[in-house]
């Protein structure tokens, strides 16, 4: 509960700061657009309140959002051409954390019928789809708000961003798979020890 309150406070503080810059009350320089940050933060926070997931999901959501926000306001995207790739990979990782735990939550509640590898595949597919939605949001901001290309990169950059999102998601899922294998091996060894002890009695 405390974790959710802390993350909610941080989200709201960031959203207020972004909104004040967007409407012109504050004048911090940004590599891309305040509207893009406001839209992303508002949607993610609204979804968190609606779903009310476990604390790990709240932390992952804020980590991914704040990494983009901090990188933008400190002009890291402009100073380092490769930084955008790091953030998209990290964003894919954080998004996979969120999607995976939400799917597990709905599985436990009996809302969805996914088991084992199905959740892995569903996580990859969902992260891919959300990556597309994010890129399309950037396009809409450029087309309707700026009437020129500002937020959205070229076609190569868009595809690169989506691939890196999937790479980040894959890294998280690899960690999950390795952790499960470690836990299973640990359980099997414990069973073997218990069986050996029972045979010696």
Q: Which residue is associated with the tokens 């996979």?
A: 96
Identify the DSSP state of 75: T
Beta-carbon contacts of residue 198 (< 8 Å; ≥ 6 apart): none
Altogether, the residues listed in the chain come to a count of 201
- Residue 73 is encoded by which pair of tokens? 């306001």
DSSP-derived 3-state class of residue 26 = coil
- Residue 77 is encoded by which pair of tokens? 């995207």
Identify the DSSP state of 82: T
- Residue 46 is encoded by which pair of tokens? 């609204």
Report d(CA 28, CA 17) in Å as an integer: 10
Beta-carbon contacts of residue 168 (< 8 Å; ≥ 6 apart): 88, 89, 90, 91, 92, 93, 94, 95, 96, 127
Report d(CA 25, CA 12) in Å as an integer: 17
Report d(CA 89, CA 129) in Å as an integer: 15
Tens of pLDDT along the chain (201 residues) come to 678 889 899 999 999 999 999 999 999 988 778 888 898 889 888 888 888 888 888 999 999 999 999 998 998 988 888 999 999 999 999 999 999 999 988 888 888 887 777 888 899 999 999 999 888 888 887 777 766 565 555 667 788 889 999 999 999 999 988 988 888 888 888 777 777 777 766
Report d(CA 83, CA 77) in Å as an integer: 6
pTM of this structure:
0.83
- Residue 119 is encoded by which pair of tokens? 């959740």
């Amino acid at each position: 509960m405390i974790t959710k309150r802390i993350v909610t406070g941080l989200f709201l503080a960031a959203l207020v700061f972004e909104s004040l810059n967007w409407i012109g009350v504050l004048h911090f320089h940004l590599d891309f657009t305040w509207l893009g940050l406001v839209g992303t933060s508002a949607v993610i926070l609204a979804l968190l309140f609606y779903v009310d997931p476990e604390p790990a999901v709240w932390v992952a959501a804020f980590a991914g959002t704040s990494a983009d926000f901090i990188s933008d306001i400190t002009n890291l995207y402009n100073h380092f051409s490769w930084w955008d790739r790091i953030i998209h990979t990290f964003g894919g990782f954080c998004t996979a954390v969120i999607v995976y735990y939400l799917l597990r939550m709905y599985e436990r509640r009996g809302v969805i019928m996914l088991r084992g590898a199905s959740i892995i595949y569903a996580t990859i597919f969902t992260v891919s789809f959300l990556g597309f939605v994010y890129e399309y949001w950037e396009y809409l901001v450029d087309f309707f708000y700026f009437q020129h290309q500002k937020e959205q990169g070229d076609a190569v950059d868009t595809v690169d961003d989506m691939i890196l999102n999937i790479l980040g998601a894959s890294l998280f899922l690899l960690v999950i798979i390795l952790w499960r294998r470690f836990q299973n091996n640990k359980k099997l060894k414990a069973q073997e020890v218990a069986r050996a002890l029972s045979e010696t009695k």
